[in-house]
């Protein structure tokens, strides 16, 4: 790519523009460029002028396209996207953090670069922002060796928008523990740990937010803001005063008493919050009142900076429309007496443009006059978008011949070397010569068409410069893989953490059942302190569980909205419940083991290893696979290459790439001459899978058939005949392919999508079809890790937990329903050629709602669907929506699970507060399937008296936008549903009765016991009993946060080796600083337990001035007496040996020795016991 840029740098048109700006020309225009050729020109100007650039587009989608190209064409670290939702109502809604985080990150980085490029839609220029000096003032530098004022910094962090938490896990959080400060800036990939020695910065380290362990040492770091609303105390006072004045003026203009009261209540409530300096979510609507001199994004561009305006006439059109929408939105709030008259959410476009004094470059496809502009230098560059060849190589050959005659330099871009070789081979097959450049940079002009590594969205032609650039998109209709984005908000990590225990949670104790966790309490017993978990049971009974028995307790995880039954301590009911569940899991274990054994014994077909064709097919995938996808593909292929038939479940959320994994398995089967059947629950899914396969297998000579009611009788007959003869490689269909007339010549692989959605009769037929063929079942319901682990060895599971890296997060809003907002949201989606899901869960009024939307947005084509329609009617509506025949689908919650409609990128949920969180989570997964930002709007009715349940649910939805506890509830509920799908729906009740984690543990134990031919109790690991008189606990002044304290106790409990002890010591000192003596005692107890386990010591008990140790009977018999007595003599009278019931008993006494030394003696003695064993000889 660099060679191409060097060549264009030498052309006169570039020089003309650069010289113009260098000589002080304020306005210039370049006409004739579009797509990637325009991005290329911008990158050349940026590199030549070496000054900050603000690139403005009319909409976010254009900004994103330019961003993707410019990331490839110039230094990616210097290109930043500033994404803004153009919807007025969203500015004051409670919003998820994705767009906000990216704006702050982009602005921070851009302001710290001399020649950075910021790309923003025009809506961003209208936003009111803090003065630029605020932004510069809120950059906090930390350097090793410098003194800092910790209290002052604490307040600064809060002012800068950071939230104080006990443990830093996501960007925008900070915590202080003693002399350790953790902070996670939005601009950093990792959080920072700043350790102080008194007031001096002793060290700065990055750390992993999941493990909390430090990585790399740094000398200095600068931390920028975590909010766009940077405010000081005087700003709150100014806003309060201005709002009071506005309220007074607005009240004078109202006639009716009721209207005055309504307005007064609303605004006075907000004034009170401003007095408290409360940073409430909807505060943004008052942004115009806070600052003495507010700025716009234009004020952040330095005087020497360059402004590039992409299609200025469309920018003006959009800006004027935004002004009008804001006026209408404001008017609707005034009519409802919800706001004051002079509220100003954004700058007026005409005023903003009138103040414009930075150098400007207008980019336009056509040469034409643009109102309010006076370019002094206009350059028209003749360029053409590259035509689409889409695999029609004869057309390409004609063009190649033309370019050759006209002495064109032809450059073909390939994403990597492997693709470059593939392109070269294809061209050679059609007698076209092309060379592969040894480096990504080549010198132009070129003698022969040349393939170089590079990636832009589209090709183009510069006739004046005799230059043609082609991409895979034009050659083979392959989409450009997007550049990798840094992912800091990974849902996958959150899924693992829903078991966090907090006060008030229900817990399950293995022996006493379900109770409520009340917290940690430190109790003194026999002069020693210990921590206990306090649990409340029915009838106010309380149980104190010693912290070293923490493994007996698990958080109760049941279905959403169900309160579990609490038990009485000492009652028999819990034992009965547990025994019912035990017999159920044992039945499941029997079934699973029998199935597994039958499968192991049966003979199928062993597919051959991957060949060149398979590798070519996989290389043609236009996206980068996630690590999970790669692992699942490997697991499936390994299974297919074995002689026993595969029976694997592939599990992953909607859009996580299961289909691609399944297609690769199908292609592997086809290459061995086997047929593949893909069975799906609905006609629409069949059609979608069929189309995906057609597209993916293009050019590989694969025959794909479809069986569904959308096929005529004649077509179906033809397909069945060809299937019988082996002329169809893959058949995709609904239960129609289970019919008697469907006969395969040689079926090798069956892929079943969402098996739980088929009826009993169909499931029986599927079972018959499974005989001796490889089976891959797909499901979108998450299968939790605990269940996955408990079934290892009896069920083959492959899990995709991570979303594709380039999938944009779904921007989520919670706001009051308002018809004007609805109209804007629909219009906005239609303006980017997208579609809208409107979720309305009342069948009786759904048609009326569809009519209301039609009246609000007359240009929108609105359809509706609900569960009371018959199957054919429903499928027809969905099918026409899929085909783009309607813009808005008003639907109940039957929005098809698994249906892929990438064009739907706006979801509006009516009365979201009436829905379960897991439902909302799954619905939100219906959007955001393409490479553009998707929006989910959860709306609720304006109602002063929300019920307590609705209030709670709404609060949970608000947290849900932050990937917080709401997200975890949703994941938890879906996990239980997933378990039901996997093990049979009747298990649902059993899971709820003992809690999900205990159920998983019981299943795991039952499977292990059956495999070993033992009772479940017999497989419990050996645990020594330790009762020593030590203050061994974590004092509250060392770790204050109970959650982290429990986590650390669990880590102590999980210690298995001396290496683990060293590791945990390092972790504690890294995260919490030097530990006190009491924590040191926990390590002493841990090392005693390790050595006791190793030598099968049943108990170590301390009484008055002696410690007694008893060894297990069997182990005692294996001791070498002579060696033992010789070793014990080294300690003189401190150690006495005896036997009782054939068990070795060792008594340790001490004389004027410190207490710690006696534990050292015990530890040293038992650590050497393995050396005292008899040597066993093989006879």
Give pLDDT, residue 961. Answer: 58
- 747 pLDDT exceeds 50? yes
8-state DSSP, 406? T
Neighbours of 550 (CB within 10 A): 18
Give pLDDT, residue 70. Answer: 95
- 1080 pLDDT exceeds 80? yes
Taking residues 252-261, what's their average pLDDT? 91
Give pLDDT, residue 902. Answer: 80
Cβ neighbours for 137, distance < 8 A, ≥ 6 positions apart = none
Give pLDDT, residue 525. Answer: 82
| SS3 category, 885 | coil
Work out the pLDDT band at 790, boundaries 50, 70, 90: low
The whole-angstrom separation of Cα 339 and Cα 324 is 18
- 96 pLDDT exceeds 90? no
Which residue intervals of 641-682 are DSSP H helices? Answer: 658-671
Give pLDDT, residue 443. Answer: 84
- Higher pLDDT residue, 115 or 557? 115
The whole-angstrom separation of Cα 472 and Cα 458 is 8
Taking residues 1119-1137, what's their average pLDDT? 89
Mean pLDDT for all residues in the chain: 86
Taking residues 989-1006, what's their average pLDDT? 84
- 1145 pLDDT exceeds 90? yes
Greatest mean pLDDT among 119-123, 397-401, 925-929, 948-952: 119-123
Taking residues 61-89, what's their average pLDDT? 89
- Higher pLDDT residue, 491 or 381? 381
Asked if residues 400 and 446 have their Cβ atoms less than 8 Å apart, the reply is no
Neighbours of 891 (CB within 10 A): 26
Model-level pTM?
A: 0.76
Taking residues 674-684, what's their average pLDDT? 92
The whole-angstrom separation of Cα 718 and Cα 725 is 11
Taking residues 967-974, what's their average pLDDT? 58
Taking residues 156-172, what's their average pLDDT? 90
Work out the pLDDT band at 967, boundaries 50, 70, 90: low
Work out the pLDDT band at 952, boundaries 50, 70, 90: low
- 430 pLDDT exceeds 90? no
- Tens of pLDDT, residues 806-834: 566 678 888 888 888 899 899 989 988 89
- Higher pLDDT residue, 729 or 962? 729
Taking residues 772-776, what's their average pLDDT? 90
DSSP string, 459-480: -EEEGGGTEEEE-HHHHH-PPP
Work out the pLDDT band at 492, boundaries 50, 70, 90: very low
Neighbours of 61 (CB within 10 A): 18
- 746 pLDDT exceeds 60? yes
Give pLDDT, residue 1159. Answer: 86
- 675 pLDDT exceeds 60? yes
Give pLDDT, residue 439. Answer: 75
Asked if residues 550 and 533 have their Cβ atoms less than 8 Å apart, the reply is yes
Closest to 451 in 3D by CA, of 489, 423, 475: 423
The whole-angstrom separation of Cα 294 and Cα 296 is 7
Work out the pLDDT band at 494, boundaries 50, 70, 90: very low
Q: Classify the phi-psi angles of 759: left when phi > 0, otherwise alpha if psi is within -120 to 50, otherwise beta.
A: beta
- Tens of pLDDT, residues 125-155: 999 999 999 998 999 999 999 999 888 888 8
Domains and CATH numbers, the chain: 2-127+296-380 (3.40.50.300), 139-223 (3.30.2060.10), 233-290 (no CATH), 384-476 (3.40.50), 502-571 (2.40.10.170), 602-800 (3.40.50.300), 810-970 (3.40.50.300), 1025-1172 (3.90.1150.50)
Taking residues 596-623, what's their average pLDDT? 86
Closest to 78 in 3D by CA, of 54, 120, 113: 113
Give pLDDT, residue 493. Answer: 37
And the tokens for 1024?
Answer: 């020594």
Greatest mean pLDDT among 364-373, 471-480, 494-503, 1035-1044: 1035-1044
Q: Are strands 377-380 and 220-223 parallel, antiparallel or unpaired?
A: unpaired
Cα 390 versus chain centre, distance: 34
Q: Which residue has the tokens 């150690």?
A: 1135
- 778 pLDDT exceeds 70? yes
The whole-angstrom separation of Cα 16 and Cα 19 is 5
Taking residues 951-966, what's their average pLDDT? 59
Q: Give the full edge-to-edge strand order of the sheet including 675-679.
A: 704-707, 730-733, 675-679, 747-753, 774-779, 647-652, 796-800
Question: 878 — phi, psi (to 5°)?
Answer: -60, -40
Give pLDDT, residue 946. Answer: 58
Give pLDDT, residue 491. Answer: 37
Asked if residues 353 and 373 have their Cβ atoms less than 8 Å apart, the reply is no
The whole-angstrom separation of Cα 567 and Cα 536 is 10
Asked if residues 46 and 116 have their Cβ atoms less than 8 Å apart, the reply is no
Give pLDDT, residue 151. Answer: 85
Work out the pLDDT band at 297, boundaries 50, 70, 90: very high
Asked if residues 683 and 692 have their Cβ atoms less than 8 Å apart, the reply is no
Q: What percent of the chain has pLDDT over 70?
A: 90
């Amino acid at each position: 790519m660099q060679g191409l840029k060097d060549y264009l740098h030498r052309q006169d048109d570039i020089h003309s523009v650069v010289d113009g700006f260098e000589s002080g020309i304020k306005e210039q225009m370049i006409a004739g460029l579009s797509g990637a050729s325009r991005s290329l020109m911008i990158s050349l100007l940026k590199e030549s002028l070496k000054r900050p650039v603000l690139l403005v587009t009319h909409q976010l989608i254009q900004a994103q396209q330019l961003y993707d190209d410019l990331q490839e064409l110039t230094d990616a670290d210097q290109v930043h996207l500033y994404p803004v939702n153009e919807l007025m109502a969203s500015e004051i809604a409670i919003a998820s953090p994705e767009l906000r985080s990216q704006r702050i990150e982009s602005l921070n980085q851009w302001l710290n670069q001399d020649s950075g490029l910021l790309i923003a839609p025009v809506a961003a220029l209208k936003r009111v922002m803090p003065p630029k000096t605020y932004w510069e003032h809120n950059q906090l530098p930390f350097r090793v060796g410098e003194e800092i004022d910790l209290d002052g910094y604490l307040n600064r962090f809060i002012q800068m928008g950071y939230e104080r938490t006990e443990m830093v896990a996501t960007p925008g959080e900070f915590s202080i523990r003693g002399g350790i400060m953790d902070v996670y800036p939005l601009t950093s990939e990792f959080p920072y740990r700043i350790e102080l020695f008194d007031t001096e910065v002793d060290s700065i380290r990055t750390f992993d937010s999941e493990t909390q362990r430090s990585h790399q040492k740094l000398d200095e770091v600068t931390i920028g803001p975590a909010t766009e609303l940077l405010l000081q105390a005087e700003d709150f006072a100014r806003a309060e005063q201005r709002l009071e004045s506005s309220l007074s003026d607005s009240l004078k203009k109202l006639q009716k008493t009721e209207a005055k009261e309504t307005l007064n209540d609303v605004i006075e409530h907000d004034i009170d919050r401003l007095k408290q300096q409360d940073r409430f979510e909807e505060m943004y609507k008052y942004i115009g009142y806070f600052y003495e001199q507010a700025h716009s994004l234009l004020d952040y561009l330095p005087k020497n900076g360059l402004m590039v305006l992409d299609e200025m006439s469309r920018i003006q059109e959009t800006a004027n429309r935004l002004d009008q929408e804001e006026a209408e939105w404001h008017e609707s709030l005034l009519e409802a007496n919800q706001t004051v008259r002079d509220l100003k959410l954004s700058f007026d476009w005409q005023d903003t443009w009138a103040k414009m004094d930075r150098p400007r470059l207008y980019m336009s496809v056509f040469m034409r006059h643009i109102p309010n502009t006076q370019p002094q230098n206009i350059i028209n560059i003749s360029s053409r978008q590259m035509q689409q060849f889409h695999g029609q190589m004869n057309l390409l050959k004609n063009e190649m011949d033309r370019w050759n005659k006209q002495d064109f330099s032809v450059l073909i871009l390939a994403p990597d070397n492997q693709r470059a070789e593939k392109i070269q081979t294809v061209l050679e097959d059609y007698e076209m010569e092309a060379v592969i450049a040894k480096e990504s940079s080549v010198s132009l002009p070129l003698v022969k068409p040349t393939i170089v590594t590079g990636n832009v969205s589209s090709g183009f032609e510069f006739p004046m410069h005799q230059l043609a650039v082609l991409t895979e998109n034009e050659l083979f209709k392959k989409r450009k893989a997007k550049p990798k984005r840094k992912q800091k908000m990974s849902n996958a990590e959150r899924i693992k953490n829903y078991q966090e225990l907090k006060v008030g949670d229900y817990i399950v104790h293995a022996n006493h059942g379900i109770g409520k966790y009340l917290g940690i309490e430190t109790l003194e017993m026999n002069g020693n302190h210990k921590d206990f978990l306090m649990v409340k049971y029915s009838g106010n009974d309380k149980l104190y569980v010693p912290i070293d028995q923490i493994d007996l307790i698990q958080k109760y995880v049941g279905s959403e909205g169900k309160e579990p039954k609490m038990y009485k301590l000492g009652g028999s009911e819990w034992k009965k419940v547990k025994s019912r569940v035990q017999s159920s899991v044992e039945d499941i274990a029997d079934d699973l083991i029998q199935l597994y054994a039958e499968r192991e014994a049966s003979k199928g077909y062993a597919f051959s290893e991957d060949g060149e064709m398979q590798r070519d097919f996989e290389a043609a995938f236009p996206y980068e696979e996630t690590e999970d996808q790669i692992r699942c593909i490997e697991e499936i292929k390994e299974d297919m290459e074995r002689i026993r038939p595969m029976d694997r479940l592939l599990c992953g959320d909607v859009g996580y790439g299961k289909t691609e994994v399944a297609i690769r398995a199908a292609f592997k089967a086809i290459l061995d001459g086997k047929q593949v059947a893909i069975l799906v629950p609905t006609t629409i899914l069949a059609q979608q899978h069929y189309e995906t396969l057609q597209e993916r297998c293009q050019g590989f000579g694969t025959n794909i058939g479809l069986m569904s009611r959308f096929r005529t009788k004649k077509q179906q007959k033809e397909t069945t005949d060809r299937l019988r003869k082996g002329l169809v490689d893959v058949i995709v269909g609904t239960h129609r392919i289970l019919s008697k007339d469907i006969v395969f010549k040689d079926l090798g692989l069956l892929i079943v999508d969402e098996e739980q959605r088929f009826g009993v009769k169909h499931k029986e037929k599927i079972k018959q079809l499974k005989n001796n063929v490889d089976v891959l079942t797909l499901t979108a319901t998450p299968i939790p890790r605990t269940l996955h682990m408990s079934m290892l060895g009896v069920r083959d599971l492959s899990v995709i937990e991570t979303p594709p890296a380039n999938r944009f997060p779904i921007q989520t809003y919670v706001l009051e329903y308002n018809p004007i907002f609805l109209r804007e949201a629909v219009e906005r989606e239609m303006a980017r050629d997208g579609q809208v899901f409107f979720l309305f869960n009342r069948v009786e009024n759904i048609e009326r709602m569809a009519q209301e939307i039609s009246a609000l947005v007359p240009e929108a084509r609105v359809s509706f669907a609900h569960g009371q329609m018959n199957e054919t009617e429903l499928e027809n509506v969905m099918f026409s929506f899929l085909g783009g025949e309607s813009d808005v689908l008003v639907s109940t919650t039957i929005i098809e699970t698994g249906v892929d409609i990438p064009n739907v990128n706006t979801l509006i949920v009516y009365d979201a507060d009436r829905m379960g969180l897991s439902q909302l989570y799954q619905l939100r997964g219906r959007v955001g399937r393409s490479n553009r930002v998707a929006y989910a709007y959860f709306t609720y009715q304006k109602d002063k008296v929300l019920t307590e349940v609705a209030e709670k649910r709404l609060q949970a939805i608000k947290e849900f936008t932050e990937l917080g506890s709401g997200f975890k509830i949703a994941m938890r509920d879906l996990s239980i549903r997933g378990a039901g799908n996997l093990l049979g729906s009747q298990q649902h009740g059993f899971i709820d009765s003992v809690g999900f984690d205990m159920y998983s543990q019981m299943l795991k134990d039952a499977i292990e016991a059956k495999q070993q031919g033992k009772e479940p109790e017999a497989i419990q690991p050996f645990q020594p009993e330790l009762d020593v008189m030590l203050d061994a606990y974590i004092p509250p002044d060392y770790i204050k946060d109970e959650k982290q304290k429990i986590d650390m106790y669990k880590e102590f409990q999980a210690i298995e080796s001396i290496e683990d002890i060293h590791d945990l010591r390092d972790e504690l000192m890294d995260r919490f600083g030097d530990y006190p003596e009491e924590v040191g005692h926990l390590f002493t107890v841990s090392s005693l337990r390790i050595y006791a386990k190793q030598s099968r010591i049943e108990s170590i008990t301390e009484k008055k001035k002696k410690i007694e140790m008893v060894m297990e009977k069997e182990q005692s018999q294996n001791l070498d007496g002579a060696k033992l007595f010789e070793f014990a003599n080294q300690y003189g009278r401190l150690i006495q040996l005896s036997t009782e019931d054939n068990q070795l008993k060792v008594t340790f006494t001490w004389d004027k020795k410190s207490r710690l030394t006696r534990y050292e003696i015990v530890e040293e003695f038992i650590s050497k016991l393995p050396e005292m064993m008899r040597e066993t000889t093989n006879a």
